[in-house]
Structure 1
């Protein structure tokens, strides 16, 4: 009976210490698996970890998992390590050197062609693209469907 009482007291003290530790630290999302450059981050790849208040981060780190979900890793992210803000980016919809549809629309006129982006781009970014037919380099904005819209925007 005494040993049962001692076990109960020990469990209560461990639970209290754990709660005190979490209230005294910063809870940050960290990878639960290794995430490689270009991988899209999902919620299942993340877990929370408590860091002491006096822990010195080398750079600004992401504090919310909502910021990370759907982003692409720019470098390898190791399990259990805080995620620097500059190590994630919006996913690229167009890839440098890969043929992409280019679109010009004005009024009722719509012209579609093929171009080769000179750099990769995410949604809404302005990129230069080389028109395959004319060889001219033009500037356009990346659309949600992966096409590049050129002309008046």
Structure 2
């Protein structure tokens, strides 16, 4: 009798999920090799269950939709999870580009042009050099490629 109970316990333990009873989470992984500078599309991704160890989950992207449209910062290998630091927003302002600088506050609008000293994507704060005065100013990149200064 005791031998049957021991066998049943061994079988039950062997059939238990390896993840400690938690549901398997799907992580987006590269379907093909994605090279630095490539814009990530839906066709380049697939999902894989438990692609990363539980203690390192915070370091990897969990959302397939959050990766689409981003740019690879380094080579992403097929069937490997994608680290958060390996992707970036696309750069819409490049170093040396002439950009429109907008200051708007309380009905006052000032527009001038400057030279970008840094590359940046939407929402990034970058430095630009005013063409007239030569002064350096910082502002936030807008979706149209302009720089908004004086946000607070």
TM over 0.5: yes
The equivalent residue for 1:60 is 59
Higher strand fraction: Structure 1 or Structure 2? 1
Query: When the two structures are superposed, what TM-score results if normalisation uses the length of structure 2?
Result: 0.69
Superposition pairs of residues 16-95 of structure 1, within 5 angstroms: 26-51=25-50, 60-95=59-94
C-alpha distance in 1, partners of 2:118/2:92?
A: 11
CA deviation digits over 1:53-110, x for unaligned, max 9?
A: 8699698222221221122211111222211121112222222222212122344443
Conserved in 2, the CA contact under 8 Å of 1:128 and 1:138? yes
Structure 1 residues 30 and 105, CA gap change in structure 2 (3 angstroms): same
Query: When the two structures are superposed, what TM-score results if normalisation uses the length of structure 1?
Result: 0.69
Conserved in 2, the CA contact under 8 Å of 1:121 and 1:142? yes
Where structure 2 has 5 or more consecutive residues not aligned to the other structure, the ranges are: 1-16
| Distance apart, 1:48 and its partner CA | 2.0
Say what the alpha-carbon RMSD is for the aligned residues.
3.0
C-alpha distance in 2, partners of 1:74/1:121?
A: 14
The equivalent residue for 1:103 is 102
Name the SS for the 1:67 alignment partner: helix
The equivalent residue for 1:117 is 116
